[in-house]
Amino acid sequence: MWRNAPVRDFVGWLKEHNERCRAPGRTPTGFYGLDLYSLHRSTREVVDYLDRVDPAAAQRARDRYSCFDNRGGDDGQSYGYAAAFGAGEWCEQKVVEQLVELQRHSLDYVRRDGMGAEDEQFYAERNAVGVCDAEGYYRTMFSGCMLSWNLRDRHMVRTLEALIEHLDRQCGTTSRIVLWAYNSHVGDARATEAGSRGEVTVGQLVRETHPGDCLLIGFTTFSGTVTAASQWGGPAERKDVRPALPGSVEALFHELGEQSFLVRTDEENTVAKTLRAARLQRAIGVIYRPETERQSHYFHTRISEQFDAVIHIDTTRAVEPLERTSLWVEGETPETYPSAL
């Protein structure tokens, strides 16, 4: 999702922007991650940090985190499967113990680590929290989608709140955050089918915590191409996006005949009132399965309550991965590729 040309270009622009706008008292712009899929990467980050500030504590961390080595190696889903079906003990207590120990010694580590120590300690703690939440996420993965979904989105919001608090404390100003995620996370779940099943989203939780201080913006498209996999963990493919289904919000926007536009849905006008009616909306994320599109990718939503604004791009273009494979080809796919070579 992140190893693509637009992110590469954005990070390059960000570096130039910070160098150009460098001034006393000015806060540089940063780029941060919120998700919890980096379970094993996060364990390494915690251990590496402790190796530098407290080698004895680093060994204790290795011993605790070794619990995962016997539960599926680097595959978090294997750990979840083993935990769900009773193949050994869970790692919950060990990862909580590690987080508590790291937090208990945070002031000592900051004092001995020198310049940049607060950032390093914050980063280590967030990774330790990520390990805890990832352990819970994978452990509940086979217990029901709603439970694991809610755990993941609540984790992202807690990480967001911790980041805001950290930046505000460092800079002495109120931070401004742009949170980039899929519509299914950014939108308010209370206006969707998912909300009726008890799911929560980042957008909903932020609205509840920061009423009047946030703006939820969704994106829609009628057709085009997308970079997505056919299954979880599968390779990135360049796929054609089917024209939106009749009656969907995407089809409604397509009828306007404009390539791109923004709609404010948080105002009392005819457009906002029209979009309060429940309509089908398409959700394409890491996975796109056009062969089962109605079942896999459409749900009913009241879009004017789900978002404060919507940007519609009628024909979308797939993001370009940094490493192209035979499954990702720019432009139209030749008739002879790949099966008729």
CA 240 – CA 56 distance, rounded (Å): 54
pLDDT at 161: 96
Provide CB contacts within 8 A for 240, sequence distance 6+. 223, 224, 225, 290
CA 307 – CA 264 distance, rounded (Å): 9
Tokens representing 43 are 């364990």
217-316 adopts what CATH topology? EreA/ChaN-like  fold (3.40.1660)
Contact 95, 68 (CB under 8 A): no
pLDDT at 237: 93
At CB < 8 A and 24+ separation, what contacts does 82-88 make? 83/138, 83/139, 84/139, 84/141, 84/142, 84/143, 85/142
CA 224 – CA 314 distance, rounded (Å): 8
Among all chains, which residue has been given the structure tokens 């309550």? 305
Beta strands in the chain (DSSP E): 217-220, 223-228, 237-241, 260-264, 279-282, 298-301, 309-313, 315-316
pLDDT at 37: 86
Q: Alpha carbon 147 to chain centroid distance?
A: 17
Listed in order, the ranges of the chain carrying CATH 3.40.1660.10 are: 217-316
CA 135 – CA 37 distance, rounded (Å): 10
pLDDT by position in tens, the chain (length 341)? 788 999 999 999 999 999 888 777 677 888 999 998 888 999 999 999 999 999 999 999 999 999 888 765 556 667 766 666 665 568 899 999 999 999 999 988 888 766 568 899 999 999 999 999 999 988 887 766 778 899 999 999 999 999 999 998 887 788 899 999 999 999 999 999 999 999 999 999 999 999 999 999 999 999 999 999 999 888 889 999 999 999 999 999 999 999 999 999 988 888 888 899 999 999 999 999 999 999 999 999 999 999 999 999 999 999 999 988 778 876 544 333 333 32
Query: Got the DSSP string for 197-231?
Result: TT---HHHHHHHHSTTS---EEEE-SEEEEEEBSS
